[in-house]
Structure 1
Amino acid sequence: MTKRYQANSRTYDKRRCSKTEVSLTSSAYEPGTIRHIVLFRYRDDLDGNDLQRIEQKFHELQTSRRDGHPYILGIESGAQNSPEGLGQGFHHAYIVSFASQGDRNYYVGEPLITNPALYDPVHHAFKSFIAPYISDQERSVLVFDFHVPAQQ
Structure 2
Amino acid sequence: MQPETRTTLRHVVLFAFKDSATVDQIDAIVADFGTLKDRIPGITAYEWGTNVSPEGLNQGFTHCFTLSFASEADRNSYLLHAAHQAFVGTLGASLEKSLVVDYWAQ
2:86 corresponds to: 125
Write the deviation string for residues 96-147 of structure 1: whole angstroms up to 9, x where unpaired.
Answer: 1111111111112xxxxxxxxxx31100111101122111xxxx11000100
Given candidates 36, 44, 52, the residue that maps to 2:11 is: 36
The 2-side partners of 1:52 and 1:127 are apart by 15
Taking the TM superposition and a 5 Å limit, the aligned residue runs for 1:22-101 are 32-65=7-40, 70-101=41-72
Q: Which consecutive unaligned segments of at least 5 residues does structure 2 have?
A: 1-5
The 2-side partners of 1:77 and 1:34 are apart by 16
Helix, strand or coil: the match of 2:92?
helix
1:143 corresponds to: 100
Normalization by structure 1: what TM-score?
0.63
Helix, strand or coil: the match of 1:32?
coil
Tell me which structure has the larger Cα radius of gyration: 1
**Amino acid paired to 2:104:** H
Aligned residues of 2:20 and 2:94 also touching (Cα < 8 A):
no
Alignment size in residue pairs: 101
The 1-side partners of 2:98 and 2:85 are apart by 15
Normalization by structure 2: what TM-score?
0.88
The 2-side partners of 1:53 and 1:38 are apart by 16
Q: 4+ residue stretches of structure 1 with deviation over 6 A?
A: none
Shift of 1:32: 2.8
The 2-side partners of 1:131 and 1:81 are apart by 25
Helix, strand or coil: the match of 1:104?
helix
Aligned residues of 1:32 and 1:101 also touching (Cα < 8 A):
no
Q: State the structure with bigger RCO (CA 8 A, min sep 6), 1 or 2.
A: 2
Percent same amino acid at aligned positions?
37
Shift of 1:47: 2.2
The 1-side partners of 2:48 and 2:92 are apart by 18
Q: Which consecutive unaligned segments of at least 5 residues does structure 1 have?
A: 1-30, 109-118
